[in-house]
Amino acid sequence: MHAKTLLLGLGCASVAWAQLADTTDYPIGPLTSSDTKWATKVCDITKYGAVADGATDSGPAILAAFDACASGGVVNIPSGTFALETWVTLSGGSAWAINLEGTIVRTGTDGGNMIYIEHSTDFELYSSNGEGAMQGYGYVFHAEGEYGPRLLRLYDVTNFAIHDIALVDSPAFHLTLDTCNQGEVYNMIIRGGNEGGLDGIDLWGFDLWVHDVEVTNKDECVTVKSPANHILVENIYCNWSGGCAMGSLGIDTGGFRFSINFLFRTEQLENLSSRDKEANFEGLDISKVVYNNIYTVNSNQMFMFKSNGGNVTEVTLQNFIGHENAYSLYIDAYWSSISAAAGDGVLYNSITFSNWKGTCANGATRAPLYVLCPSTQPCTNIIIEDFAMWTESGSTEYYKCADAWGSGYCLEGGSAHTAYGTVTSTLTAAPSGYSATTMPNQLTAGFGLSTSIPIPTVPNTFFPGATPATARVYGS
């Protein structure tokens, strides 16, 4: 799928892509159609020794099927239950796909990544029947107070798509996009246990679009980490989760770590705007990120910037709906879970929050609007507009800003951009327009850590009133 096509053809997505500006000439997603890959070659894992009995290790069969189809074709995992005892690293490959119609279940106990895809291009992982899933049985580890492997990790993968599958009960992170480029993730559901360290989607790279995804866990929902540039996250349903976030930003986030040959191939570099070249070479580590249409319920926060050093600029967070979350809008430049980075602390500049509404759990205990910037490097050009959150418990709430310059609510206006300490304001009446609709299938409790999490069906809606940008590949 091509970003320019998105601009012309998609309603909400066109607006969000337009905000990212310079991505419109780069192809997003696989370059070769699924039909062409199927016509080129099909490598069914059952032809290489896999058995759908839930016990026989399918790791060697998946690797053998990949070796046979790496230069073009489809690694087919048919309906049935396939055990994975030994993890697989699929390195290289071009114009290939994995079609997951059945369920992969974890039977091995190693750490690392159950499926690890690296140095690949023109790749697609999807379920042609809409029933494909990975079941990590993470509860076996969590019941003992331990973590295990991640389910799925991509590293240095370009022009890719992951869609129409379920990732369930990972022993650790569910999906990680590590230094990936020009990719798309959509029409997915992730169900993890009610515990930290079970991230839904973590991503960093260039030109990535994550949309129409539901996440349950108690840590990151969909989180952008450093370095990242030109990222769009939209139509996300954080259904009993930690909530979306950016960070943590720490000592290693002082600038882009991409190889120039990977991120900007010669012809791309020639076409880059001067601003993007400056962003790369002058060390902006998170820039040009848009979160649009984010629905969050019973989570730790609607969105959190968590840092103790690093740089963030040109970020837009718009059209957020929340219900009963502990925090709502939350910038914490002194996040205690990491050590302080060297230098002056985090640099936040040109961040816009627009059209937030709904409720927090208790606005008198945890401020729904909380902007804590470093005194050594105050935030600049912060805009908060159309923010209407009210408390579920009690009849008051407060806003808190520290060393943050911009416009709206408790921010300081003007051009001084110096430290000024902490400013708070108390509300004793609900703000106008806070009432917001709810989503179907809202969870009222997280999934336990001592029993298996059932595999859900991928839903057809992820944000109130928004139609998924891409139809389900199969069925409803």
* DSSP secondary structure string for all residues of 313-370: EEEEEEEEEEEEES-SEEEETT-TTSPPPSSS-EEEEEEEEEEEEEEES-TTTS-SEE
- The whole-number pLDDT of residue 374 equals 84
Contact yes or no for 220/199 (Cβ under 8 A): yes
The answer to whether 285 is a known catalytic residue is no
Catalytic, out of 142, 163, 211, 323: 323
Q: Two tokens at 452?
A: 């298996």
The answer to whether 164 is a known catalytic residue is no
**Residues forming a β-bridge with 125:** 98, 162
Q: Two tokens at 259?
A: 């190889």
Write out residues in the chain with pLDDT < 50, as ranges. Answer: 1-14, 251-284, 336-338, 341, 343, 476
DSSP assignment of 219-273: SEEEEE-SSEEEEEEEEEEEESSSEEEEEEE-TT-SS----HHHHS-HHHHHHS-
Full-model pTM: 0.91
- The whole-number pLDDT of residue 320 equals 98
Q: Two tokens at 262?
A: 């990977």
Distance CA(57)–CA(50), nearest Å, equals 7
- The whole-number pLDDT of residue 8 equals 29
Catalytic, out of 219, 276, 285, 403: 219
- The whole-number pLDDT of residue 272 equals 38
Q: Two tokens at 376?
A: 């050594």
Choosing among 3.40.1710.10, 1.10.1370.30, 2.160.20.10, 2.60.120.10, the CATH entry for 1-26+188-469 is 2.160.20.10
- The whole-number pLDDT of residue 447 equals 97
Q: Two tokens at 274?
A: 């001067």
- The whole-number pLDDT of residue 72 equals 98
**Tally of CB atoms within 10 A around 60:** 16
**Residues forming a β-bridge with 406:** 382
